[in-house]
């Protein structure tokens, strides 16, 4: 009896020792992958930062309004944000690669799914960031044009423009990331309809006098007296 | 019956034998134009007329140029080139049809040489830059000693303009003759309140009309411009007239001005909107200032220029101005663009503008020192690229309207001389504040 127990224990110990002996190299491989990955990502971050500085990325982002957006959100300059994003994306990739080296089938499947999802996530984030920049640019262009045309509700229209572009970008990004696609499309359609209605009302109220003048000129045939403008040149 | 004046149209004919190499940049000249210029040979004086659908006026411009040649330069070899941007209204036909035989009794001189006349399209898209580039290449090829540019849409050009633009170059060795127009006191407020004083403070020359569009050039300056163009394509930017003015100032060329009388352009009715005009002129000026940043910080003050031509004054049509609307746009701009101004203007300037926006209509003033500070801070912000550049220039529009309104209110009862003195005071303010511009210009991002 005791002999059988001892044999069982010895076999278990042997199996455990064999498993540990097999696991330790994998663990070491994981640690090495993560450490090497960390060094590589640090190098990549520095390289990305240098390239972005060389191409004056902060300067370009300033012009597009991205920098002020980040500043308002209390975030670092765009070149720093992008280089940090690269660092984390690559390092997470190395961590997952390291974990997969352990050889757990369940983890491997999850990691494979994560890697397959990564491009979608990246494109979704990129779409949203581009959307934010475009929204800022478009709203500023609308604001300036309307202010120079002395339209009273310039700010409202500019805010609506920004809202519309952000909504569009967010919907596109979420759809790309496959997050609640149906809900997103429905929500966007409702929001888009609301913005268009608001724009129609704003234009209708703001351009009432202009429309009346154009119609009067069209149907009565009497040209409306134009005001003199100073020629600047 | 009198014999017709010797005007010869250089029509496209059978290509002559392979042209002799002259060293000129023939790559800028279409083959047809090259052959016609070779047929003309070397000339002393060359006048270019850029056109685009100017059939209504170009005939009289061509006649004025030809009479100018006959009357003032009967012994010189002369040529006229119409550079057309693709007119669809028969402008080239009007150029070919223009005759000065009817004016023969009025002409005291008989031309001793043939008056050459060419009308040609220029390569590239329509625009003054393409036309002037072709003209410079043509001037180089025909070894012109002096050349002039006059617009094809002028309604009041006289033969005296040709003398005024060419004589100082041809006889007095000037390199650039800028025009000087008689203007209504409220005409060209952007030029008198921004372009002229800033060009004067930056480049140190009192060039009253730095944007042309009529001017005279020496052959050597034309060649220098052409070589500069070859090196850096500097003439393809917006505001080619300003680029020419700046090149003369920075290159140490002799600059003068000629009085031409009132400026009446037929296509003025099609002038761009105010924001567009600002983008083209102020944007071009800020870009030019940036390009010449190695030159201007070391210059102080400004020097007057020799003036040619008989200066006279005539009564000009009054201009009705909607001051209320200008002021409204100014106030809307100050209110709505405050967040943009935070990135462009200093706090002191912003506060001062805000205070002005709250003033009564009648008491409203946008004083010289504040305006100059505003312009210089915009120029520095343009250089530092704090905003998309066209947006930055657009943001200046309501402030310019405020300044223009203030200028109109201040000078409502003033005579031309008094207005001239006020513009002079503004120019001195620009010169006084130049160190402030340099300081802001050099701030690191």
Interface pTM, i.e. ipTM? 0.80
CA–CA separation, A195 vs B104, rounded Å? 71
Which chain A residues are closer than 8 Å to B322 by Cβ? 227-229
Question: Is pLDDT larger for residue B150 or for residue A217?
Answer: B150
For position B349, what pLDDT does the model report?
Answer: 96
**Do residue B114 and residue B175 come from a single domain?**
yes
Residue B8: the pLDDT is 72
Asked if the structure places residue B91 within a domain, the reply is yes
Position of tokens 């268009």? A196
Contact between A233 and B395 using a beta-carbon 8 Å cutoff = no
Enumerate the residues of chain A whose CB falls inside 8 A of the CB of residue B343. Answer: 68
C-alpha distances (whole Å) from A5 to each of A8, A9, A12, A13, A16 are: 5, 6, 10, 12, 16
Q: Assess if residue B68 is contained within a domain.
A: yes
Domain C-terminal end among B308, B332, B360 = B308
Rounded mean pLDDT of A130-134? Answer: 84
Determine contact, residues A34/A100, Cβ cutoff 8 Å.
no
Inter-chain CB proximity A229 and B322 less than 8 Å: yes
CA-nearest residue to A152 within chain B is: B332
Classify residue B108: in a domain, yes or no: yes
Report the C-alpha gap between A111 and B295 in whole angstroms. 61
Question: Is residue A180 scored above 80 in pLDDT?
Answer: no
Torsion of CA B209, B213, B214, B216, to 10 degrees: 80
Lowest mean pLDDT among A82-86, A183-187, B170-174: A183-187
pLDDT band at B18 (very low <50, low <70, confident <90, very high): very low
Q: At what angle do helices B347-357 and B323-336 cross, to 10 degrees?
A: 140
B173, two tokens: 């060795």
Neighbours of A92 (CB within 10 A): 14
Given an 8 Å threshold on Cβ–Cβ distance, is B190 in contact with A229? no
Give Cα separations from B115 to A192, B19, B143 (angstroms): 68, 22, 16
pLDDT above 90 for A130: no
Query: Best of B282, B317, B332, B383 to disrupt the A interface by mutation (most A CBs within 10 Å)?
Result: B332
A9 by Cβ neighbours in 10 Å (0-12 / 13-18 / 19+) ranks as exposed
Kindly state whether residues B381 and B341 are assigned to the same domain.
Answer: yes
User: Cα(B354)–Cα(B356) distance, rounded to whole angstroms?
Assistant: 5
Judged by CB atoms within 8 Å, which residues 185-214 of A form the interface with B? none
Residues B74/B111, Cβ–Cβ less than 8 Å? yes
Residue ending a domain, choose from B273, B308, B343: B308
pTM of this structure = 0.79
pLDDT on residue B262: 86
B330 and B296 in a single domain? The answer is no
Q: Between A84 and B23, name the one with better pLDDT.
A: A84
pLDDT of residue B187: 85
Quote the tokens at residue B160. Answer: 């005296």
More confident residue, A220 or B303: B303
Tell me the H-state helices in B98-181.
Answer: 128-141, 159-170
Q: What percent of chain B has pLDDT over 70?
A: 87
Contact A62 B386 (CB under 8 A): yes
Nearest chain B residue to A233 by CA distance is B188
Give the three-state DSSP class for A225.
coil
B175 and B208 together in one domain: yes
pLDDT per residue as tens digits for the range B224-244: 998 877 665 665 556 788 999
pLDDT of residue A54: 86
Beta bridge partners, B179, equal B258
Minimal Cβ distance to B385: which of A62, A143, A228: A62
How many structural domains is chain B composed of?
2
**What is chain A's mean pLDDT, rounded?**
81
Which residues in chain A touch residue B209, judged by CB atoms under 8 angstroms apart? none
Same-domain check for residues B250 and B211: yes
Domain boundaries, position B348: 323-441
In this prediction, residues A176-200 reach a mean pLDDT of 78
Q: What is the pLDDT of residues B136-166, one digit of tens each?
A: 999 999 999 999 999 999 988 999 999 999 9
Q: Which helix (H) or strand (E) holds A54?
A: helix A2-54
Are B176 and B259 part of one and the same domain?
yes
Distance from CA of A65 to the nearest CA of B (A): 7
Scanning B233-322, the segments in alpha helix (DSSP H) are 240-250, 274-291
CB atoms within 10 A of CB B301: 11
Tell me what the mean pLDDT of segment B190-201 comes to: 95
Distance CA B382, CA B215 (A): 29
DSSP-assigned beta bridge partners for residue B228: none
Q: Cα distance from A55 to chain B (closest Cα, Å)?
A: 14
- Residue B173 and residue B85 share a domain: yes
Does residue B301 share a domain with residue B178? yes
Statement: residue B308 has pLDDT above 70? yes
B-chain residues within 8 Å CB-CB of A141? Answer: 391
Residues in chain A: 233
Please name the member of B321, B322, B388 whose beta carbon is closest to the beta carbon of A63: B388
Residues pairing with A198 in the sheet: none
Distance CA B318, CA B384 (A): 41
Q: Which residue out of B340, B357, B390, B402 would a mutagenesis test of the A interface target, given it has the greatest number of A Cβ atoms within 10 Å?
A: B340
| pLDDT for B397 beyond 80 | yes
Q: Please tell me whether residues B293 and B353 are part of one structural domain.
A: no
Of B280, B308, B336, which residue is a domain's last? B308
Whether B318 is in a domain gets the answer no
CATH number of the domain encompassing residue B230: 3.90.550.10
Query: Same structural domain for residues B62 and B208?
Result: yes
Q: Please report residues of B whose CB lies closer than 8 A to that of A147.
A: 329, 332-333, 336-337, 398
A147 with B337: Cβ contact below 8 A: yes
| Residue of higher predicted confidence among A65 and B37 | B37
pLDDT digits (tens, 9 = 90+) for A2-20: 888 888 889 889 988 988 8
The SS3 call for residue B116 is strand
Q: According to DSSP H, which parts of B76-116 are helical?
A: 91-97
A229 to chain B, any CB pair closer than 8 A? The answer is yes
Q: Show which of residues 213-272 on chain B sit within 8 Å of chain A, judged by CB atoms.
A: 268, 271
Task: Determine, for residues B188 and A228 on separate chains, whether the beta-carbon distance falls below 8 Å.
Answer: no
Mean pLDDT (whole number) for B424-431: 96
Rounded to whole angstroms, the Cα distance separating B315 from B183 reads 10
Instruction: Report if residue B60 sits inside a domain.
Output: yes
Q: Is B385 on the interface with A (CB under 8 A)?
A: yes
Instruction: Give the C-alpha separation, B79 to B82, whole Å.
Output: 10
Q: How many Å separate Cα B185 from the centre of its chain?
A: 19
Put simply, the answer to whether A231 touches B320 (Cβ < 8 Å) is no
Average pLDDT, chain B: 87
- Asked if A233 lies within 8 A of B385 by C-beta distance, the reply is no
Separation between Cα atoms, residue B50 and residue B65, nearest integer Å? 13
Same domain, B25 and B169: yes
DSSP state of B273: P
Our CA-based measurement puts residue A25 at a distance from the nearest CA of chain B, in whole angstroms, of 52
Q: Is B21 near chain A, with CB under 8 Å? A: no
**Hey, is B186 helix, strand or coil?**
coil
Question: For residue B19, is pLDDT > 50?
Answer: no
**pLDDT at A193 exceeding the cut of 70:** yes
Among the partner-chain residues B281, B319, B445, the one whose CB lies closest to the CB of A230 is B319
On whether both B296 and B415 belong to a single domain, the answer is no
Q: What is the mean pLDDT of residues B103-111?
A: 68
pLDDT above 50 for B415: yes
């Amino acid at each position: 009896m005791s002999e059988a127990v001892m044999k069982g224990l010895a076999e278990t110990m042997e199996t455990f020792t064999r498993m540990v002996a097999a696991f330790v190299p994998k663990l070491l491989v994981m640690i090495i992958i993560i450490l090497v990955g960390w060094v590589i990502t640090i190098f990549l971050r520095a390289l990305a930062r240098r390239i972005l500085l060389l191409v004056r990325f902060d300067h370009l982002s300033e012009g597009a309004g991205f920098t002020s957006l980040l500043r308002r959100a209390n975030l670092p300059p765009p070149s720093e944000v992008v280089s940090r994003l690269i660092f984390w994306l690559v390092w997470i990739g190395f961590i997952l690669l390291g974990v997969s080296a352990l050889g757990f089938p369940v983890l491997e499947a999850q990691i494979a799914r994560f890697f397959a999802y990564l491009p979608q996530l990246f494109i979704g984030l990129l779409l949203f960031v581009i959307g934010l920049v475009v929204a800022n640019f478009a709203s500023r262009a609308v604001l300036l044009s309307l202010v120079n045309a002395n339209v009273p509700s310039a700010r409202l229209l500019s805010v609506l423009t920004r809202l519309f572009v952000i909504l569009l970008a967010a919907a596109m990004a979420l759809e790309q990331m496959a997050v609640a696609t149906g809900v997103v499309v429905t929500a966007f359609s409702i929001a888009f309809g609301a913005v268009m209605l608001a724009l129609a009302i704003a234009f209708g109220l703001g351009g009432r006098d202009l429309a009346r003048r154009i119609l009067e000129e069209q149907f009565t045939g009497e040209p409306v007296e134009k005001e003199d403008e100073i020629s600047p040149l | 019956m009198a014999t017709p004046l010797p005007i010869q149209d250089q029509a496209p004919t059978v290509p002559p034998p392979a042209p002799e190499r002259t060293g000129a940049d023939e790559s800028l000249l279409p083959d047809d134009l090259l052959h016609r210029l070779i047929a003309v040979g070397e000339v002393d004086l060359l006048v270019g007329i850029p056109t685009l659908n100017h059939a209504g006026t170009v005939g009289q411009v061509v006649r004025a140029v030809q009479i100018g040649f006959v009357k003032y330069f009967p012994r010189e070899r002369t040529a006229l080139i119409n550079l057309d941007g693709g007119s669809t209204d028969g402008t080239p036909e009007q150029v070919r049809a223009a005759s000065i035989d009817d004016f023969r009794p009025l002409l005291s001189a008989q031309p001793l040489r043939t008056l050459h006349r060419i009308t040609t399209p220029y390569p590239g898209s329509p625009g003054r830059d393409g036309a002037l580039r072709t003209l410079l290449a043509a001037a180089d090829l025909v070894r012109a000693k002096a050349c002039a540019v006059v617009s094809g849409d002028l309604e009041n050009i006289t033969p005296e303009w040709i003398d005024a633009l060419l004589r100082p170059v041809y006889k007095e060795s000037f390199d650039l003759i800028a025009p000087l127009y008689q203007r209504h006191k409220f005409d060209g407020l952007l030029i008198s309140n921004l372009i002229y004083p800033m060009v004067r403070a930056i480049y140190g020359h009192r060039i009253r009309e730095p944007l042309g569009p009529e001017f005279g050039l020496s052959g050597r300056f034309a060649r220098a411009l052409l070589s500069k163009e070859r090196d850096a394509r500097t003439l393809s930017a917006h505001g080619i007239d300003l680029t020419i003015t700046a090149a003369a100032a920075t290159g140490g060329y002799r600059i003068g001005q000629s009085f031409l009388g009132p400026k009446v352009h037929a296509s003025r009715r099609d002038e761009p909107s105010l924001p567009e005009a600002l983008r083209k002129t102020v944007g071009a000026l800020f870009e030019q200032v940036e390009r010449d940043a190695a030159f201007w910080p070391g210059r102080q003050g400004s020097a007057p220029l020799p003036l040619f031509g008989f200066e006279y004054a005539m009564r000009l049509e009054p201009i009705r101005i909607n001051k209320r609307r200008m002021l409204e746009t100014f106030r809307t701009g100050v209110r709505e663009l405050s967040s943009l101004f935070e990135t462009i203007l200093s706090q002191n300037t912003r506060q001062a503008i805000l205070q002005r926006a709250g003033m009564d209509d009648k008491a409203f003033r946008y004083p010289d020192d504040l305006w100059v500070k505003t312009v210089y801070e915009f120029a520095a912000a343009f250089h530092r690229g704090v905003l998309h550049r066209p947006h930055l220039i657009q943001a200046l529009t309501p402030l310019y309207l405020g300044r223009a309104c203030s200028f109109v209110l201040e000078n409502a009862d003033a005579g031309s001389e008094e207005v001239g003195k006020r513009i002079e005071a503004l120019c001195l303010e620009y010169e006084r504040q130049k160190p402030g511009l340099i300081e802001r210009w050099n701030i690191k991002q």
